[in-house]
Structures are given as C-alpha cells and as structure tokens.
Structure 1
Amino acid sequence: MHDIEPYYGWLKYYDSSRDEYSPFHGKEYNYDMYSETIYGYYIAPSWDFIGSETLYIKILFLDYDAGYAVIEFLGEWNDAINNDVMHLKRNIIDELLGVDINKFILIGENILNFHGSDDSYYEEWFEDVEEGWVTALGFRDFVLDEMNQYNIDTYINSGGNLEVINWRTMKPQMFCQLVDGLIQKRLGM
C-alpha cells in the first residue's frame, strides 16, 4: 500500500497545504518517513488523515468560484465500525461547505472495500449541497453495489456515463466542467 500515491498531476493548479481555506492548510509532508498505516500497512505520506483509521484522502482540486472539490480516497470506507462518513463529513466536507463548495467529485479507485451502516450523514450532506451534487467516480463495482445496498446512491451519483476513465489527462477545470455537464444531463436540468 505504500506505493499507492494520490494523483500529483494537478499540483501546479492546486495544493491543499498552501490553500488558507483548506482543512490541510500549512501541513508539512515528510516524504522520507512513513508513519500512517491502514491495518498495519504503511501508506504514502502524501495522504491526509481525516480522523479515521481506515480511510485517507487527498484534496486534488478546489475551485471556489465554481464550487468544485475533487477528492481522492485510499483505504477501506467503513461506516459500520469506524463511521468514516462522519469523520469525512465533520472534518472535511463541513469546512468546504463553509467556503461555498457544493459540487463534490469523489475519486474511489483506491477504495478497497465498503462497509455500510445508516445513511444519515449522506442524507445530511445531500441536503447541505442544495444547488450542488456529490458524485463517485472510479469506485469498483462491488464497492458501488455495497453502497447501493445502503441506499447511498440516493445521495451520491455514480456509474454509467459518470465513469470518466481518462480524468488524469484533463486539466482540473475541464474535468469538473465535464462531470458537471454529465450530472446536469442525468438530473435533467
């Protein structure tokens, strides 16, 4: 797991440690020391801790004018034991909502498993975005299936034409606009 790193291609456009409104503003990364673990396996020091033992993130891009956030995930999303969505919602999403971010693109290529519980935090998040949306891209089919068993798909858009496999080849603004357009079509707006 220590070889899995967040996407670095957009650092020239956005760096959460240098953004005064980011929950990770001022964080210094020691790339020579691996200290964080998931189930005893060290992870790359570039991932950010959100309060969960099993789920880490990297905010790849924030656009305050358009209200976009692109967040990449690593680990096991475990609402049943660790209440990961609570940590994500309270420690990250609420702060971003406070600076008018209301469109969330969740990149889940490195989510290894999902264990659901109730959907109250997802419902709260859905209500908080008002004119925005939340979408999940790159999540494995079995992870999405498990999420759907807990009705998470009621609050988070996923699957179908939202699977933008070449997102790394795009500039972040272009990617966000593409996803926004796909969501608008899906929602019939």
Structure 2
Amino acid sequence: MDIDLAKPEFDGLWDKQPVKQDIDPLFNRSKHWKTKMDKDILQRTLTKLKENIVREQVVGTKRFEGPVPFKSDPSEIIFKDFDVEKVYRTRVTLTNVTLTINTLKLVDLSESLKDFITLKFEPPGMISAGMSCYLYVTFEPKINENLRGEIKFLAQTGMFTIPIRCEIKK
C-alpha cells in the first residue's frame, strides 16, 4: 500500500489555469454594448464630459477672472514646532469667491504627505457665491523632518491648491 502523501487527494484551485477575458477598458462592466458605434458614442460622451469640467463663468456682462475660485482661510496650512507621535488638527474654511454657484472636489494630496496627513472633506455640492465649506486636516508626524506639499482641488472654474508646510523645532 504505497500512498503518495505529497499529492493531494483532490484538485484545488492551484491546479486550474485562470480564464483570460477580453479586457476592454470602456466596456469591462457589461457583456453588452460591443458594437463599434456604441464604443464611439461612449468615447465621444466621455470626451465631452472631460472638456466641460472646467468652464468659464460669465454673469451678465461680468466674467470671473480671479486667480482662484475659492479663498482658503488660512491661505497656507502650517504645522510649526511639531513633536513626533502627537496629533495636530486644524480647520480650513473654503469660501466661494466667484460670481455664481460653484462646485468643489478634493482631487489629491501630495505623495510626500499621504503617510502623515488625513483629510476630512465632505463635498458640499453646489456652493452659492460667498458661502463656505470646511476642510479638516489632521497631521500625525512619524518622522522628525520638515515636510512640504499641497492639497489639490477642482472647481467648475479651474484647479487650485492649498500649500502645506510642516516644520520641526529649531
């Protein structure tokens, strides 16, 4: 009675080869819409959407030509004289300084800060001119080094950034 103990009694998932599927980035969610015309229509629609994200704002005869669509208070986030392993928090007020309603989307945080900074921002939807929303920034230093970066936002009238500086004790 020779039994090979190195061989399993039943086949496992490791014995099967994965099935390769046709990968189409435009249609990876559905088995339908495979015609060339459907792909072209979807591609044109996506292009139009991307082009219309940022647009010029004109009210009556006035055109918004400001440097940034939202004013941040403070204009630069600074964490000075921090201690490692302590938690620091601040609130940033973002005020719509354009002529009419505007939307706001948090795009990204600099790579150098992603391990140390946490952002809490609930997209407010449409913000009327002069109205504000809040961004909560939590800084948790893990190393004793000066850090710099920025938070990127996208509004209907363009992109803008808020710089961040984290400075050690001198």
Q: Hey, which of these two has a bigger chunk of strand by percent?
A: 2
Q: Which has the higher contact order (CA 8 A, sep 6+)?
A: 2
Larger radius of gyration: 2
In the superposition, the TM-score normalised over structure 2's length comes to 0.23
